Structure 1
Amino acid sequence: MKKVLGVDIGGTKIRMGVVNEAGEVLADITVPTELPLYPYLEEQVLKVKAEFPDITGVGIGTRGIVDADTGTVTFEKELPGWEGTPAKPLLEAATGLRVELNNDANCAALAEARIGAGQGFSRVVCITVGTGLGGGFVFDGQVMNGANGGSGEIGHLILYPNGLVCGCGRPGCSEQYVSGTALKRLIKEEDVVDPTTGELAKPHTLFKLASQNIESAKLARDRFLADFAIIISTLQAVLDMDCIVIGGGVSESADEWWDLLLEKVKPLLIKPVEIKRAAFGNEAGMLGAAMLVV
C-alpha cells in the first residue's frame, strides 16, 4: 500500500507522520521548530526518507497563506524567513519526490473530508475554533485554495461592521467574537466568576459553569453561540455545503454546548445541513498534509 509523509509545521513544533492510503499512521515523529526553517525542514524530511525509502510523496501543512500551485508561503510573519520560500521545488529537488504545500487549516479540512467526519459528503466546510477562528473548504475531494491562497479565512468575515478591531487591522471580524480569545473577553465583560476559585473563569470552564445555571456564564455562552450560528448560516448562504465539520480546541468542550448551537443555527438555515463534530484532534493537520499527496 502506498506510503507518504505528512508534515504539519507549527510555531513551536513540527509533526511528521508516515501515512498509508487508508489514513493509518505508521510512524509519528515530532521535532521542535527551528530557524532558519527551510534547511532544517529539508534535513528532517531526508532523515525520515532514509528510514522509510518507500515513501512516494511529501505533503506539508503550514501556518500562513500559501500559493499551492508554486508551493510558496506568500504571507507568514511568525516564522522569520519562511515567507517567500519556494519550499515545494526546493524539497522536490532534494528528495526526488512529489511535494505539495498548503495551509494547515486546509490540510485539517482535507483530513476530515477524506477520512474523517465529512467522509461521504461532496461539499465540506470545516470550521476550526481555537485561539482564533479558521477553516477550510473541500469540494469534490479538492481543497479550495482561492486566487491568492486565502480561501477559508472564516475568521475574517466581517460579523459586526465597525466592531472590535481584529489583529488583521479591520474592525468587526468574526474571530473577535467566536474564538478562544473571544471567550476570554466575554468572561470579563459578563464578570463570570468560577465559584471554586473565586476568580474569573477560564475559557475551558465557561460552558460547564453555564450548564450549572450560573447566570453570567449563561449570558457569555449564549452571546458566543448566537454569533457562531450567524457565521454558520452565512457560510451556507454563500457556499451551499452539504456538511459542516467543527473542530479546534474550543470544540473539546462541545458536550456542554453542542445541542444549544444546533438550536440557534436551525432557524437561520436556508435548508437543513449536516453539522458534525471533527473526528480528528491535533493529528488532523498531519493527516491532511499526507492526503495532499496520496
Structure 2
Amino acid sequence: MKQILGVDIGGTKIRFGVVNENGKVVKDLTVPTKLPLYPYLEEQILELKRVYPNLTGIGIGTRGMVDAETGVITFEKELEGWQGTSVKAQLQAATGLQVEINNDANCAALAEARLGEAKNFRRVICLTVGTGLGGGIIFDGQIVNGTHGGAGEVGHLILYPHGQLCSCGRKGCSEQYVSGSALRRIIKENNLLDSETGEWILPHQLFKMAANGHIVAKAIQEQFLSDFAIIISNLQAILDMDCVVIGGGVSESAEDWWELFLEKIEPLKLKPLEVKRASFGNEAGMLGAAMLLI
C-alpha cells in the first residue's frame, strides 16, 4: 500500500506522519523547529526515508505563503531564512521522491474536505483559529491557491479599517480581532488576571469565565463571536460555499461558546450554510499534507 510522508511545519514544532492511501497514520513523530530550517528539515526527512524505504512521496504543509506549482516559499517573516526557499526542487533532488508543498491552513482544509467533517460537501472553507487566523478553500476536492499562493488568507481580510496594526504592515486585519493572539491582547487591555497565579488568564479561561457569567469576559466573548460571524458572512458573499469548518487551538474551547456562535451567524447568512467543528486536531496539517499526493 502506498505510503506518503506528511509534514506540518509550524513556528515551534514540526510534525511528521507516515500516512497510507486510506488516510491512516502509520507513524507519528514531532520534533522542535530549528533554524536554519531547510537543512534541518532535509536531515529529518532523509532519516525517516531510511527507516521507511517504501515511501513514495512527501507532502509538506508550512506556515506562510507558498507557490504550490514551483514549491517556493513566497512570504514568511517569522521563520528566518525560510522565505524564498525552493523547498520542492531541493527536496526532490535530495530524496528522489515526488514532493508537493502548500500552506498549512490549506492542508488542514484538505484533510477536513477529504476525510473529515466536510467530506460530503463540494465547496468548503476551513478556518483555523490559533495564534493567528488561517483559512483554506477547497472547491471540488482541490485547493484554491490563487495566483501567488495567497488565496485563503482570511486573517488578512480588513475587518476594522485603520484598526490594530497587523504583522503584514496593514491595519485592522481580521486576525487582530479573531485569534488567540488577539484574545491575549484584549485580556491584557482589560487586566484579567488569574486569581491563583497572578498571571494573565488564557483564552480558554476567558470563555469559561464568560460561561460562568463574568461581565467583562462576556463582553469580550460577545465582540469576538460577532466579529467572527461577520468574517464568515463576508466569505459567503464572495464564495457561496456550502460548508465552513472551524478548527485551531481556540476552537478547542468551543463547548463554552459554540451555540452562541451559531446564533450570531444565523441572521447573517445569505444562503444555507453548514458550520461545523473540525474532526482533526493538531494532526490536520500533517494529514492534509499527505493528501497533496493521495
TM-score after normalising by structure 1: 0.95
Cα distance in 2 for residues equivalent to 1:39 and 1:45: 10
Aligned to 1:29: 29
Q: Which residue of 1 aligns with 2:186?
A: 186
1:89-100 to 2 correspondence within 5 Å? Answer: 89-100=89-100
Distance in 2 (alpha carbons) for counterparts of 1:112 and 1:289:
12
Report % sequence identity: 68
Find the aligned partners of 2:101 and 2:71 in 1 and give their Cα distance: 5
The residue that corresponds to 2:15 in the other structure is 15
Q: 2:200 and 2:212 mapped to 1: Cα distance?
A: 16
Q: Which residue of 1 aligns with 2:80?
A: 80
Deviation (angstroms), 1:250: 0.5
Distance 2:90 2:288 in 1: 21
Q: Is the CA contact (8 Å cut-off) linking 1:194 and 1:209 kept in structure 2?
A: no
Under a length normalisation based on structure 2, what TM-score does the superposition of the two structures give?
0.95
Tell me, which stretches of 5 or more residues in structure 2 are unaligned? none
What residue ranges of structure 1 are gaps of 5+ in the alignment? none
CA distance in 2, matches of 1:179, 1:33: 22
Please name the residue that 1:289 is paired with: 289
Counterpart residue number, 1:40: 40
Q: What is the number of equivalent residue pairs in this alignment?
A: 294
Change (3 A) 1:14 1:197: closer
Matches within 5 A, 1:266-281: 266-281=266-281
CA separation in 1, counterparts of 2:231 and 2:215? Answer: 25
8 Å contact 1:190–1:219 — kept in the other structure? no
Which secondary structure does the structure 2 equivalent of 1:125 belong to? strand
Q: Counterpart amino acid of 2:177? A: Y
**Measured at CA, do residues 257 and 94 of structure 1 come closer, stay the same or move farther in structure 2, by a change above 3 Å?**
same
Q: Flag the 1:30–1:194 CA change in 2: closer, same or farther, 3 A.
A: closer
Q: Which residue of structure 1 lines up, in the alignment, with residue 133 of structure 2? A: 133
Offset, 1:40 = 2.2
Indicate conservation of the 8 Å contact 1:191/1:216, yes or no: no
Change (3 A) 1:258 1:85: same
**How far apart, in 1, do the equivalents of 2:197 and 2:272 lie?**
42
Aligned residue for 2:270, secondary structure, equals coil
Instruction: In structure 2, give the amino acid aligned to 1:273.
Output: L
**2:247 equivalent in structure 1:** 247
For residue 147 of structure 1, report the CA deviation from its aligned partner.
0.5
- Residue in 1 aligned with 2:144? 144
Any idea what SS the aligned residue of 1:145 has?
Answer: coil
Give CA-to-partner distance per residue, 1:178-215, whole Å, 9 cap, x none: 11122123334445455666765331211111111111
Partner of 2:221: 221
Secondary structure at the residue paired with 2:27? Answer: strand
Q: Is the 8 A contact 1:266 1:272 kept in 2?
A: no
Q: Which residue of 2 aligns with 1:155?
A: 155
SS in 2 for 1:57: strand
CA change 1:55–1:165 in 2 (3 A) is: same
Asked if structure 2 preserves the Cα contact closer than 8 Å seen for 1:124 and 1:137, the reply is yes
State the Cα deviation string for residues 150-191 of structure 1 (Å, max 9, x = none): 111111101111112212121111111111122123334445
Contact 1:190 1:217 in 2 (8 A): no
2 CA distance for matches of 1:184 and 1:90? 38
